[in-house]
Amino acid sequence: MTELEAITQVCQNARQASFSLASMSRATKDAALRTIADALVADTAIIVAANAADVERATNDGTSDALIDRLTLNPERLKAIADALRDVAELPDPIGEVLRGYTLPNGLQIRQVRVPLGVVGMIYEARPNVTVDAAGLCLKSGNAALLRGSSSAYDTNVALVAVMQDGLEAAGLPRNAIQLVPGTSHDSVKHLMAARGLVDVLIPRGGAGLIKSVVEGSIVPVIETGVGNCHVYVDAAADIDKAINIIVNSKTQRVSVCNAAETLLVHADIAQEFLPKALAALKEKGVTIHGDEAIKPYCTAAGIEFAPVTQEDWFAEFYSLDLAAGIVNSVEEAIDHIRRYTSGHTEAIVSDSASAIQTFVSNVDSAAVMINASTRFTDGGEFGFGAEIGISTQKLHARGPMGLAELTSTKFIVTGDGHIRG
Amino acid sequence: MTELEAITQVCQNARQASFSLASMSRATKDAALRTIADALVADTAIIVAANAADVERATNDGTSDALIDRLTLNPERLKAIADALRDVAELPDPIGEVLRGYTLPNGLQIRQVRVPLGVVGMIYEARPNVTVDAAGLCLKSGNAALLRGSSSAYDTNVALVAVMQDGLEAAGLPRNAIQLVPGTSHDSVKHLMAARGLVDVLIPRGGAGLIKSVVEGSIVPVIETGVGNCHVYVDAAADIDKAINIIVNSKTQRVSVCNAAETLLVHADIAQEFLPKALAALKEKGVTIHGDEAIKPYCTAAGIEFAPVTQEDWFAEFYSLDLAAGIVNSVEEAIDHIRRYTSGHTEAIVSDSASAIQTFVSNVDSAAVMINASTRFTDGGEFGFGAEIGISTQKLHARGPMGLAELTSTKFIVTGDGHIRG
């Protein structure tokens, strides 16, 4: 069997499994999630051994310690992954929810009801916890999952999926509800991106390069996730202490995530008061400023690392302690800057001016707009969704953190009594 | 300026216009819709003259009478188009609607609010009423419209858009809120499909070939519309008279539309009672049956036109008085058939059996499922949406008839008081 044939087979198996998942009761799905969680813990030794092979290969390839850490599974991490599945079992089932329901003058009863998407393909990088998290969310929402992890985690993913499939079978569900896409070549991604009609949606999770290649190469519909060039705008009417806390938290609380801030814009009227304290606090965290001419003297005075800002910096998602920064003369100027450079993830305004807030919120078109809060809150867990499959930065279907509801479609069910059109 | 440069310019103009449309009040948008409606009527002579040029060219090219009819505008039709714009002005504004709103334990207030998509591109065929309908729905939902009609209607579309732009200007809105994509070459569609980042969504409306080429060629997100291979399943427990009315209405009330039925599946247990009467009624309407072996003797007995059904017939959207037909032994067999051949638009069951209906509704995964009603009801107007931009047959974003709400996205607005993540 060629790789293309193998992947087509996997897609057809997923479609077949999706038929029985679509009408499965919540109790059945939740029982399967708990059975899988038990199986993952029971088979810890097998999974950790498979993971050790991936880790050894990565170490021999000279992979960085940070990436090795993201790749590594140990019994504690595996237990946490299993517990997350049990948490998903506790969440309400999105399937069957009636979103609209009404009766027309002619007596036709119309209901719009949530149904699964069908077959969901995930394309993602190193972290093996995504393999289980994504499979669990797909199962709960009645979707068959096709998982295409990175080649560096291949042995781990093979082991995790085998254990999950055993769990499915033990719970009386089709094994093909969760499948690993065979092969680790780039072609296997290409075949998946061409499987329109067999795969209902692809969700890429990872770096900007991966996401761009899937978005541009796929004829299967794609949900674009995660690239975050997030801005914090400190308005003339900002509370200084809140503004300092928010930029420090947004930039430094965790730098390697999409909802970390990458750009600071400061209103000229508050620069003199705000910047010395803010830059001191950022310096303490080890931040480097990529600044414009107006902010340079403040950086020099504060003794913080400084580099002249470039066009690339304004567009950059640094994933590091680097921060682009500039001074603007109005909220409108901040909005213009954000429109030009944002990736559409999250932007924050710090202000006590109702009119400045209103202007900012109405004119900044990103998945999330924070008013006097850290950009780091754009997250399914923080928003109370209970789970997150990714953060959409596109406008179609889902925008912002995606939970179970965002893994569904709808259908209209129309009940008549012999109704025909006149 | 090359065609690519011209189209890029048009897209950038649309993006710029979308910024002011996004925060425009309902009153302003409705006033503009009414001003445009008045302008279309006032400029009837100009528009009809431009249309006459298109009609003459089409006639010289040997275009069929049916297509000429769809292309032709006269004062009555133009008045109806203008009235439809006034109807759109009466509809509620979808923008600003709060879809979810709650306060987290930490005090963060979260609201998910409807916002425009931004720039909507329509790619469509002959009918010039789509030019005005689509522009009106985009304007009402705060989106800038990029219109790419067929070359056969180019002069008409140039005239319609010029009049609408004058109306926009008279109402104080940017002319670029509604623009025609320049050029009639196939390349102009290609440039539009490549304008990711400038265009937020493309909606193709027309034949299957057009839709397929946009779906497969575009890196701008696409909403797939309209191909309808709709099925009517007559269950063993069907009311015979209702079933006859429904299949006749679904097939023959209007044959050239996506919600017309293309396949009839009859349960074997009711075939003997149902088929003689149903085939007589279909024969009276001039229907030709493309039937399987089991249905053939009934067709012979009824004297209705008959051809052996092919694989292509089962997949076909005939757009004519042709109907594929077969006999099945159970509701499950009907479901299997539909899963294999459907385009996912609309399927109907005629039955008085609650369990058969339940099985059918749970297992048929199409945009609309009709219970004892004609497939012809899948329509934005019939569903009470007040307007329709198309019927989506995909699962992402919108499924089924699309009204104003389906031309929107959402954003999260999160209000804190200096909140940071711990």
Pick A246's closest partner by Cβ from B374, B410, B420.
Answer: B420
What is the average pLDDT across A316-332? 97
Is the Cβ pair B118, A409 closer than 8 Å? no
CB distance from B102 to chain A under 8 Å? yes
Which residues in chain B have Cβ-Cβ distances shorter than 8 Å to A401? 412
pLDDT tens figures, B169-197:
999 999 999 999 988 788 889 999 999 98
- Residue length of chain A: 422
Pick B23's closest partner by Cβ from A22, A363, A384.
Answer: A363
Which residues in chain A have Cβ-Cβ distances shorter than 8 Å to B397? 396-397
The predicted structure's pLDDT at residue B327: 98
Residue A344 backbone class (left: φ over 0; alpha: ψ -120 to 50; beta: rest)? left
d(CA A71, CA A153): 7
Distance from CA of A113 to the nearest CA of B (A): 10
Radius of gyration of chain B from its Cα atoms, rounded to whole angstroms: 24
Domains of chain B: 3-224+397-415 (3.40.605.10), 230-382 (3.40.309.10)
CB distance from B221 to chain A under 8 Å? yes
CB distance from B215 to chain A under 8 Å? yes
Are B389 and B398 contacting, i.e. CB atoms less than 8 angstroms apart? no
Distance from CA of A420 to the nearest CA of B (A): 5
Is the Cβ pair A249, B420 closer than 8 Å? yes
Lowest mean pLDDT among A64-68, A156-160, A377-381, A389-393: A64-68
Pick A400's closest partner by Cβ from B246, B397, B412.
Answer: B412
Which residues in chain A have Cβ-Cβ distances shorter than 8 Å to B411? 365-369, 399-400
Burial of residue B188 (CB within 10 Å: 0-12, 13-18, 19+) is: buried
Q: How far lies A137's CA from each of A88, A140, A156, B210, in Å?
A: 7, 5, 19, 35
* Chain B residues 354-413 with a CB less than 8 Å from chain A: 361-363, 365-374, 376-378, 382-384, 394-397, 399-401, 409-413
User: Considering chain A, what percentage of its residues have pLDDT values greater than 70?
Assistant: 100
Pick B363's closest partner by Cβ from A19, A222, A384.
Answer: A19
List beta partners, residue A188.
none
Lowest mean pLDDT among A331-335, B12-16, B210-214, B321-325: B210-214
Q: What is the per-residue burial (b if ≥16 Cβ within 10 Å, else e) of B222-254?
A: bbbbbbbbbbbbbbbbbbeebbbbbbbbbbbbe
Pick A414's closest partner by Cβ from B102, B253, B368.
Answer: B368
B354-363 vs A3-22: helix crossing angle, rounded to 10: 150
pLDDT tens figures, B262-306:
999 999 999 999 999 999 999 999 999 999 999 999 999 999 999
pLDDT tens figures, B95-150:
999 999 999 999 999 999 999 999 999 999 868 999 999 999 999 999 999 999 99
Which residues in chain B have Cβ-Cβ distances shorter than 8 Å to A396? 117, 200-201, 221, 223, 396-397, 409
Which residues in chain B have Cβ-Cβ distances shorter than 8 Å to A242? 417-418
Distance from CA of B183 to the nearest CA of A (A): 25
pLDDT tens figures, A87-145:
999 999 999 999 999 999 999 999 999 999 999 999 998 689 999 999 999 999 999 99
* Chain B residues 326-355 with a CB less than 8 Å from chain A: 339
Report ipTM (2 d.p.): 0.94
A339 Cβ contact partners less than 8 Å away, ≥ 6 residues apart: A363, A364, A365, B19
Cα-based angle A178, A259, A292 (whole degrees, multiple of 5): 145
Is the Cβ pair A19, B339 closer than 8 Å? yes
- Residue A235, pLDDT > 80, answer yes
Is the Cβ pair A415, B373 closer than 8 Å? yes
CB distance from A419 to chain B under 8 Å? yes
Cα-based angle B393, B396, B399 (whole degrees, multiple of 5): 40
What is the average pLDDT across A233-250? 98
Distance from CA of A386 to the nearest CA of B (A): 13
